[in-house]
């Protein structure tokens, strides 16, 4: 009853709020943090979601490795360079000595917290606490900078409202009721700041939404408060037609549907966390990808509005394992696939691609964990072969299956690349191909030329 009231009040009050998420490079230096502060200090009511300063989470991963080894000398060395980089940032970011002292005291608090883990046993619980320090630090630095600039903001700690359930899925009800309660307590506030990536799990422990998870935080928050828009600010002017880390010439895409963006994110377009589109799609909240260095550029609008019948982008995801189950029993039998799927379900391993013939079924999984227990059970149903180091190349856009054209162009482009599996027709906006990882760069370059006439 109480929660219903809270929810009703907040929906009417916060309905026009926007979410602005800033990634690691957007807060990667004092200059960038100042630019973010200028961008967010307008009159729009908003929640700003922050990542850790770029490189920080990677450094924390290194510190965790040293902590697991109980290598105190290595931990101290890593913490010293961590501290001196942040001291420089603090020096450049703040104007007054008073603010610098406050910031340094925050920094020492985080560093001493990490150092305290050298004294006792180090487990995944402590590991996740260490990983959380990056976002805790960046958000407190931004907030201090805002207050030095005279911009009023309120920090709403992610650990007070962001939670995942026992299946590691966002606990929608918990997030919604707690976030709305926190916002309702601050009805006069226009600018809220929170941490991306970090959350609590269903035991109440500090946890996270996996690497790149701040995008997911922004979308979960957007859905929880019924925001009018979720903006993801990063170091590139929107979703490009191909992976800019791999091919030289790429171009931004103006519009994508939720489905198209979700496919690209899931199949390797690093600009978005794999699950980040799902909450926004469910609540029909547009997601806009923008460039912090060039805010004037239009970026990419992701919504339920379709934007033309053409192939829009390609992406690639490595770390794929292909599993083939070959069985004479499959021939003319029904129920065979059900049994195979049930094995995957029991092992809680999800399947990305599937192709079948009369005597075999091939599947892919992106798990790099030990697959032996799964394979052992699958052997009850036939001969099992496993191939690691595979890569899924995903072509996204509008594939008009009633008309000739797209498929021919895809295969013509890839005539020199051995194709291990092909999935076509599962949806109107995706063709997936499995290739050996060694051909990934060649495949992406060939598709850039063949489908987009680039390079
Ligand atoms: P942030 O730190 O802001 O979260 P990320 O590094 O996670 O930024 O994501 C942005 C990066 O994603 C870009 O710099 C780019 O190299 C990479 N990227 C990979 N595929 C694409 C794509 N299709 N379009 C745009 N960027 C992409
Ligand atoms: N800081 C986290 C990472 O580097 C989360 C994020 O940036 O989205 O993965
Ligand atoms: Mg990211």
Give the angle subtended at the CA of 305 by the CAs of 302 and 307, to the nearest 5°.
85
Is residue 23 lining ligand 1, measured as CB closer than 6 Å? yes
Residue with token string 């960046």? 138
Q: Please give the number of the atom of ligand 1 that sits closest to the Cα of 245.
A: 16
Greatest CA separation for the chain: 79
| Dist. CA 229–CA 256, nearest whole Å | 15
Nearest-CA residue for atom 5 of ligand 2 = 212
Residue with token string 């929608």? 172
Q: Which two tokens stand for residue 109?
A: 């608090």
Closest by CA to 57, choosing from 168, 123, 117, 136, is 136
Cβ–Cβ under 8 Å, residues 202 and 165: yes
Distance (angstroms) between ligand 2 centre and the Cα of 43 equals 28
Mutate to test the pocket of ligand 2, among 54, 57, 135 (most ligand atoms within 8 A of CB): 57
Nearest-CA residue for atom 12 of ligand 1 = 271
Distance (angstroms) between ligand 1 centre and the Cα of 237 equals 10
Is residue 56 lining ligand 1, measured as CB closer than 6 Å? no
Cβ–Cβ under 8 Å, residues 422 and 433: yes
Res 405: pLDDT: 79
Cβ–Cβ under 8 Å, residues 396 and 313: yes
Closest by CA to 29, choosing from 212, 289, 292, 258, is 292
Distance (angstroms) between ligand 1 centre and the Cα of 113 equals 31
Res 402: pLDDT: 59
Res 239: pLDDT: 98
Nearest-CA residue for atom 9 of ligand 2 = 211
Distance (angstroms) between ligand 2 centre and the Cα of 271 equals 11
Q: Which helix (H) or strand (E) holds 433?
A: strand 430-436
**Do the bridges between strand 311-326 and strand 287-291 make them parallel or antiparallel, or are there none, so unpaired?**
unpaired
Res 401: pLDDT: 62
Ligand nearest to the CA of 293: 1
**Residue 216 in 3-state DSSP?**
helix
| Dist. CA 141–CA 51, nearest whole Å | 12
Q: Which helix (H) or strand (E) holds 155?
A: strand 154-155
Closest by CA to 413, choosing from 425, 431, 401, 427, is 431
Q: Which helix (H) or strand (E) holds 131?
A: helix 124-149
Distance (angstroms) between ligand 1 centre and the Cα of 328 equals 46
Q: Please give the number of the atom of ligand 2 that sits closest to the Cα of 51.
A: 7
Res 406: pLDDT: 82
Res 2: pLDDT: 36
By 3-state DSSP, what share of the chain in percent is helix, strand and coil, each rounded to 5? Answer: 45, 20, 35
| Dist. CA 364–CA 262, nearest whole Å | 19
Instruction: Tally the C-alpha atoms within 13 A of residue 172's C-alpha that lie toward its C-beta.
Output: 11
Q: Please give the number of the atom of ligand 1 that sits closest to the Cα of 269.
A: 20
Cα end-to-end distance, the chain, whole Å: 60
Q: Per-residue pLDDT for the chain (455 aa), expressed as one digit of tens each?
A: 334 444 444 444 556 899 999 999 999 999 999 999 999 999 899 999 999 999 999 999 999 999 999 999 999 999 999 999 999 999 999 999 999 999 999 999 999 999 999 988 899 999 999 999 999 999 999 999 999 999 999 999 999 999 999 999 999 999 999 999 999 999 999 999 999 999 999 999 999 999 999 999 999 999 999 999 999 999 999 999 999 999 999 999 999 999 999 999 999 999 999 999 999 999 999 999 999 999 999 999 999 998 777 899 999 999 999 999 998 766 556 788 889 999 999 999 999 999 988 889 999 999 767 899 999 999 998 999 999 999 999 999 987 665 677 888 999 999 999 999 999 878 888 999 999 999 999 999 999 999 999 97
pTM: 0.94
DSSP per-residue string spanning 176-205: HHHHHHHHHTTTT--EEEEESSEEE-TTS-
| Dist. CA 279–CA 299, nearest whole Å | 20
């Amino acid at each position: 009853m109480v929660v219903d009231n809270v929810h009703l009040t907040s929906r009417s009050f916060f309905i026009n709020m926007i979410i602005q998420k800033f990634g690691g490079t957007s807060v990667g230096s004092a200059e960038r943090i100042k630019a973010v502060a200028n961008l967010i200090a307008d009159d729009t009511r908003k929640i700003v979601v922050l990542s850790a300063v770029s490189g920080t989470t990677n450094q924390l991963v290194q510190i965790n490795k040293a902590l697991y080894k109980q290598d105190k000398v290595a931990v101290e060395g890593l913490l010293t360079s961590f501290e001196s980089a942040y001291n420089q940032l603090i020096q450049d970011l703040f104007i007054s000595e008073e603010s610098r002292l406050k910031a340094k005291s925050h920094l020492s608090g985080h560093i001493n917290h990490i150092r305290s883990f050298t004294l006792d046993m180090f487990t995944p619980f402590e590991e996740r606490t260490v990983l959380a320090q990056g976002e805790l630090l960046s958000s407190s630095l931004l907030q201090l900078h805002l207050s030095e600039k005279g911009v009023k903001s309120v920090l709403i700690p992610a650990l007070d409202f962001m939670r995942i359930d026992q299946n590691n899925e966002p606990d929608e009800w918990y997030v919604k009721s707690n976030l709305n309660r926190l916002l309702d307590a601050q009805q006069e506030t226009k600018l809220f700041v929170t941490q991306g990536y970090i959350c609590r799990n269903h035991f109440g422990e500090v946890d996270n939404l996996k690497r790149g998870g701040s995008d997911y935080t922004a979308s979960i928050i957007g859905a929880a408060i019924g925001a009018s828009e979720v903006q993801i600010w990063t170091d590139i002017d929107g979703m490009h037609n191909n992976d800019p880390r791999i091919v030289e010439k790429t171009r931004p895409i103006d519009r994508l549907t939720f489905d198209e963006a979700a496919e690209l994110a899931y199949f390797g377009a690093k600009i978005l966390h794999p699950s980040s589109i799902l909450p926004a799609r469910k609540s029909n909240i547009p997601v806009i990808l923008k460039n912090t260095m060039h805010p004037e550029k239009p970026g990419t609008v992701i919504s339920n509005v379709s934007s033309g019948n053409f192939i829009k982008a390609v992406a690639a995801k490595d770390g794929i394992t292909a599993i083939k189950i070959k069985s004479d029993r499959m021939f003319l039998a029904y129920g065979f696939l059900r049994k195979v799927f049930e094995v995957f379900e029991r092992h809680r391993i999800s399947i990305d691609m599937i192709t079948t013939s009369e005597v075999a079924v091939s599947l892919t999984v992106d798990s790099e964990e030990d697959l032996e227990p799964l394979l052992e059970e699958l052997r009850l149903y036939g001969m099992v072969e496993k191939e690691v180091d595979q890569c899924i190349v995903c072509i996204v856009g509008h594939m008009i299956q009633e008309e000739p054209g797209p498929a021919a162009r895809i295969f013509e482009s890839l005539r020199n690349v051995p194709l291990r599996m092909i999935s076509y027709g599962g949806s109107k906006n995706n063709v997936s191909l499995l290739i050996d990882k060694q051909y990934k760069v060649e495949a992406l370059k060939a598709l850039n030329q063949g489908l987009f006439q680039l390079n």
